[in-house]
């Protein structure tokens, strides 16, 4: 099988493959959003501070009971379900743009974290996950010995 390679806007080819097994669901969602203007994947920011990695994800309309967050090694998975409201025969819709369904986001963390100290808060549709770095997870200079 031939790998597809992304082409950058300046005309040069990137060495980053178009297909990534870890990000497959995200990539399918990104393609659907660009093609059809729709998305069920939560938008997020991830940044690193001195002692922790912080992930912020927008989950409007999601309740705590419909949210599942898991950490498996260096992969943080955020799953949520936004249930469709019941329609009645008397309702007359003039527009229906809100999306309902399952949200899934798999995030590869940039460093090892201490799974026992991870915290998450959900307030006004913003999920904030704080992942404290594991001891010894910083960069280390490796000494080269000669013989």
User: pLDDT at residue 117 above 70?
Assistant: yes
Name 112's Cβ contacts closer than 8 Å, sequence gap at least 6.
74, 133, 134, 137
Domain regions of the chain by residue span: 42-85+99-132
User: pLDDT at residue 109 above 70?
Assistant: yes
Task: Using pLDDT thresholds of 50, 70 and 90, give the confidence band for residue 14.
Answer: very low
pLDDT (tens digit, 9 = 90+) per residue, 48-103?
A: 999 999 999 998 888 899 899 999 988 999 998 877 777 666 677 777 666 777 87
Identify the CA nearest to 79 among candidates 104, 42, 59, 101. 104
CA angle 105, 57, 73 (to 5 degrees): 50
Percent pLDDT > 70 in the chain is 62
Average pLDDT score over residue span 14-22? 52
CATH value of 42-85+99-132 in 1.20.1250.20, 1.10.150.120, 3.30.1180.10, 2.60.40.790: 2.60.40.790
Model-level pTM?
Answer: 0.63
Instruction: Count CA atoms within 13 Å of residue 92 on its CB side.
Output: 0
């Amino acid at each position: 099988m031939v790998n597809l390679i992304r082409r950058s806007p300046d005309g040069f080819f990137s060495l980053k493959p178009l297909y990534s097994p870890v990000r497959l669901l995200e990539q399918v969602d990104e393609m659907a959003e660009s093609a059809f203007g729709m998305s069920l994947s939560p938008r997020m920011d991830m940044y690193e501070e001195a002692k922790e990695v912080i992930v912020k994800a927008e989950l409007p309309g999601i309740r705590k009971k419909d949210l599942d967050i898991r950490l498996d090694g260096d992969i943080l998975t955020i799953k949520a379900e936004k249930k469709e409201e019941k329609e009645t025969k008397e309702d007359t819709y003039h527009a229906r743009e809100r999306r309902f369904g399952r949200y899934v986001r798999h995030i590869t963390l940039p460093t090892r974290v201490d799974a026992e100290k991870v915290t998450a808060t959900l307030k006004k549709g913003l999920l904030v996950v704080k992942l404290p770095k594991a001891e010894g997870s910083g960069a280390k200079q490796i000494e080269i010995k000669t013989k």
